[in-house]
């Protein structure tokens, strides 16, 4: 049931790169080809919480911090968007040109303050965030 409802919510908006649940199950994040990450409320019929953060190109990867508070999104434009789920209308923190020689293929959290990214530039990078 969850998979079908998430697919309906996301597909009705645009196609996606990656879809993931937050660790606490409260949110669903989607990296979209429409250059805007989707944050869906898993406790409220998967309604869209926010869909206005923007990227300069399509997004490929999305991941939540272990405490489910922060969503990181990355994609073709080499940037990382760091979005606070408790402040959905706030502008995201941007890590610009995180992989300047290629697309970011994956973003993952090591802990609540550290993310790791991989890119088509054959590099793995670790980022310490003070949020």
User: Predicted confidence band at 1 (pLDDT cuts at 50, 70, 90)?
Assistant: very low
* Between residues 17 and 104, the one the model is more confident about: 104
User: Predicted confidence band at 8 (pLDDT cuts at 50, 70, 90)?
Assistant: low
- State whether residue 93 is helix, strand or coil: strand
The pTM is what?
0.83
Contact 116, 125 (CB under 8 A): yes
- Could you count the other beta carbons within 10 Å of the beta carbon of residue 116? 15
Q: In what order do the strands lie in the sheet with 104-111?
A: 104-111, 114-119, 124-128
Tell me how far apart the alpha carbons of residues 61 and 17 are, in angstroms, rounded to a whole number: 6
Pairing of strands 80-84, 93-95: antiparallel
């Amino acid at each position: 049931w969850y998979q079908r409802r998430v697919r309906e919510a996301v597909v009705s908006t645009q196609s996606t790169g990656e879809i993931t649940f937050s660790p606490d199950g409260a949110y669903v994040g989607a990296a979209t080809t429409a250059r805007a990450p989707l944050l869906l409320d898993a406790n409220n019929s998967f309604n869209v919480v926010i869909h206005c953060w923007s990227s300069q190109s399509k997004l490929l990867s999305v991941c939540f911090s272990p405490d489910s508070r922060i969503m990181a999104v990355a994609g073709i434009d080499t940037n990382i968007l760091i979005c606070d789920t408790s402040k959905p209308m706030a502008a995201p923190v941007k890590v610009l040109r995180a992989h300047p020689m290629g697309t970011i293929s994956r973003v993952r959290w090591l802990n609540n303050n550290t993310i790791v990214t991989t890119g088509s530039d054959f590099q793995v990078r670790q980022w310490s965030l003070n949020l």
